[in-house]
Structure 1
Amino acid sequence: MQTYLKLKEFCQLVHLSEDVVKGMMANGALNFKEEEGEIYIEANQGTFSVVPTSSKQPAMVNSMTLAGESFVEKTIGTILNLHEKVLDAKDETLEALKGENKFLKDALYSMQELYDEDRKTIENLNEQLKYARNEVEFLKRKYKMMWNKTVELYANSPENPEEIKEEK
């Protein structure tokens, strides 16, 4: 019983490109049939054609080797390209983070300086407030003593004894 696979399925199975498989079909290395616009390759005979079994098919091995080598080269090239892009993105990210860290560090130093200045201003204002409170307290005592003395002098003065008596 013969089993046929579509061209794309066969290419995926043997890991070859369609061009290489079509070249093998043109050389007669693969049995195939075409139905309704689709190409079908005989799976049993096709796998033996792809895998070398003897030394009488060195050309087939060479074409597969070349196809495999180009695939490997393309894959390595793609990987290297992606690796380069990742490294560039990493470098850009590191530069952006360094810039952001410098900005944040400068902002932190600036905030610390402002905090120190504000703390000195608050200490200065507290000292001034303490001095002003002491001054007010001193003036209260001074005026209280002065007014007490004035009231006593006025109360003991002989000129107005009746006014004081009337008020009492």
Structure 2
Amino acid sequence: MNSWMEIEEFSGLMNLDISAIRSLIDEGKLTSKEEEGQCFVEVSRSAQALIPATKGIVLDETYEGSSVSLSSEFVEKTVGAILSLHEKVLDAKEETLDALKGENRFLKEALFSMQELCDEDRKVIETLSKQLGLLQDELEFTKRKYKMMWNKAVEGYTPPSK
């Protein structure tokens, strides 16, 4: 989508004379159109044509007041290195997340296994408790039975005479 601006407004924005802008239009460096007697300049392509491509970046203020010039190749390599490191960090993050997900699955399975063992142990304890109750009842019955038998035996016992 093209965005158009009046030549006067474009002149103020780019800090150029209208005559300089008209000569750039004549040279074909700027795209323009005429509507209702006014000249409009296409902003995005024209701005790109007017901004010079630099081969390096100059930093004016540095450590001891001297200026340092950075080549565009250095900047591109630096940005490339940063992007490469960023990709490696993202890959490491993905690997870590995958490892954590695997560990969580393992822990979840272990928890379910422990829950099953606990349920089985509860059933065994319940069964053993019932058996213990039955054996205690049987023991009490046997005690009463022998006590009654011994009481009868003691009552019916007559000591031998000499």
Q: TM-score range by the shorter chain?
A: 0.5 to 0.7
Give the 3-state SS of the residue equivalent to 2:161 in structure 1. helix
Structure 2 CA distance for partners of 1:145 and 1:100, relative to 1, 3 Å: same
TM-score (structure 1 length as normaliser): 0.54
Aligned match of 2:161: 162
Q: Which runs of 4+ in 1 moved over 3 A?
A: none
Structure 2 CA distance for partners of 1:93 and 1:13, relative to 1, 3 Å: farther
The Cα shift of 1:76 comes to 1.5
Q: 2:99 aligns with which of 70, 89, 96?
A: 96
- 1:41-80 counterparts in 2 under 5 A? 67=71, 69-80=72-83
Question: How many pairs are equivalent?
Answer: 100
The Cα shift of 1:16 comes to 2.2
Aligned match of 2:139: 136
CA RMSD, Structure 1 to Structure 2 (Å): 2.2
Aligned match of 1:16: 69
Identical amino acids, percent of aligned pairs: 63
- Structure 1: where are the runs of 5+ without partners? 1-8, 18-66, 164-168
Give the 3-state SS of the residue equivalent to 1:16 in structure 2. strand
Structure 2 CA distance for partners of 1:13 and 1:90, relative to 1, 3 Å: farther
Whole-angstrom distance in 2 between the partners of 1:113 and 1:13: 74
Structure 2 CA distance for partners of 1:82 and 1:91, relative to 1, 3 Å: same
Choose between structure 1 and 2: higher helix proportion. 1
Choose between structure 1 and 2: higher strand proportion. 2
The Cα shift of 1:154 comes to 2.7
Whose RCO is larger (CA < 8 A, sep 6+)?
1
The Cα shift of 1:123 comes to 1.1
> Which of the pair has more CA radius of gyration?
1
- Structure 2: where are the runs of 5+ without partners? 1-61
Whole-angstrom distance in 2 between the partners of 1:91 and 1:99: 12
